[in-house]
Amino acid sequence: MSDVESGNVPMVSEPLNEFGSSWTEDKANMVFDYAKAYLTAMKNQRFQLLYFDGFAGSGDVQLKDDTLMESVALRVMGISEPRRFDRYVMVELGKKKAGSLRAKLNERFPELRDRTWVIEDDCNAQLRNLSEYLKANQYRRVLAFLDPCGMQVDHAAVETLKDLHADVWILFPSGIGANRNLFRDVAKMKPENFKSVERILGITEQEIRDHYYEPTLFEEFPDKRDGGIERTLELYRTKLQLLFKHVSKTKEIRNSAGGIMYHLLMASQEPLAIRIADHIIKKYSGRK
């Protein structure tokens, strides 16, 4: 398998195996269903199609009942009809996970070795490379899946895809990301809390204060407005609409206690893409 190395990669500790539940399966099924529909819609087109997975993992996911679920990356690569993608780019920062993924892909799809890359790098750096890849040829199209476990995706990296032909599924950490960094008492906010929210939403500290906190008689002690997660999601969708012409509805992903962790959504330049995504989201809505 050809392997593109990007140079010096920051060393990080290897994360524990991912433990998923029914929402993990739903998320995988939704992206897989869309990939099949995408390839069907593109079967007679002249475009060169690339699948980009920003957090490809090791090739499988350990569920809570100790069963292993095949990752989205492997499932998408298994689609052969009505056509395949022309290229597959799998980004995984963890060295051990990337090695495991390479081994699985070599075993499962030896016929795709010359069109598949497993890249050990940060997703944000590779999103910037992806934008250059699209700009270089008007006949290139991308289906991307960004599936972070937290706040790893910088909005500035997503911005590089502005006006480009990419359909991007994003697992946005509306609950476990921005909301956990926005304290009710703004006086307890530290610079790193503001920076984290600035980075994933692409806004300034002053914009955070204006959007999330209500002025009071004591200006130095504003009250946090209600509906923080809803405000974050609305703001994020608005930001995406400045980059892509269309943004889908969202699929809430909750923990076992009912708290919102993420919202899954898709952005695209094409209205048909969003109609398909909305249909899939509706299909899986209401599942626990």
CATH of residue 243's domain is: 3.40.50.150
Q: Which residues, 6 or more positions from 109, have their beta carbon under 8 angstroms from its beta carbon?
A: 77, 78, 116
> What is the rounded CA–CA span in Å between residue 127 and residue 50?
13
pLDDT, tens digit (0-9, with 9 covering 90-100), for 61-110: 877 777 888 999 999 999 999 999 999 999 999 999 999 999 999 999 99
On whether residue 256 sits in a domain, the answer given is yes
Residue 58 falls inside a structural domain: yes
- The tally of domains found in the chain comes to 1
Domain span at residue 276 reads 19-177+236-284
Residue 51 lies inside a defined structural domain of this protein = yes
pLDDT at site 142: 98
Both tokens of 111, joined, read 């016929």
CA distance 254 to 183: 21
SS3 assignment for the chain: CCCCCCCCCCCCCCCCCCEECHHHHHHHHHHHHHHHHHHHHCCCCCCEEEEEECCCCCCEEEECCCCEEECHHHHHHCCCCCCCCCEEEEECCCHHHHHHHHHHHHHHCHHHHHHEEEECCCHHHHHHHHHHHHHCCCCEEEEEEECCCCCCCCHHHHHCCCCCCEEEEEEECHHHHHHHHCCCEHHHCCHHHHHHHHHHHCCCHHHHHHHHEECCCCCCCCEECCCHHHHHHHHHHHHHHCCCCEECCCEEEECCCCCEEEEEEEEECCHHHHHHHHHHHHHHCCCC
pLDDT of residue 228: 81
pLDDT of residue 180: 87
Residue 140 zone, left/alpha/beta (φ > 0; ψ -120 to 50; rest):
beta
**190 inside domain:** no
Rg (CA), the chain: 19
User: What size, in residues, is the chain?
Assistant: 288
Asked if residue 191 is part of any domain, the answer here is: no
Predicted local distance difference test score (pLDDT) of residue 242: 96
Amino acid at 136: A
Which positions of the chain have pLDDT values less than 50? 1-19, 217, 288
pTM: 0.88
- pLDDT at 21 (0 to 100): 60
Tell me, what's the pLDDT at 9?
29
Domain assignment present for residue 183? The answer is no
Does residue 192 fall inside a structural domain?
no
Cβ atoms within 10 Å of 191's Cβ, excluding its own? 8
Distances, alpha carbon 131 to alpha carbons 37, 125, 172, 194, in Å: 23, 10, 20, 27
In a domain, 127, yes or no: yes
- pLDDT score, position 1: 34
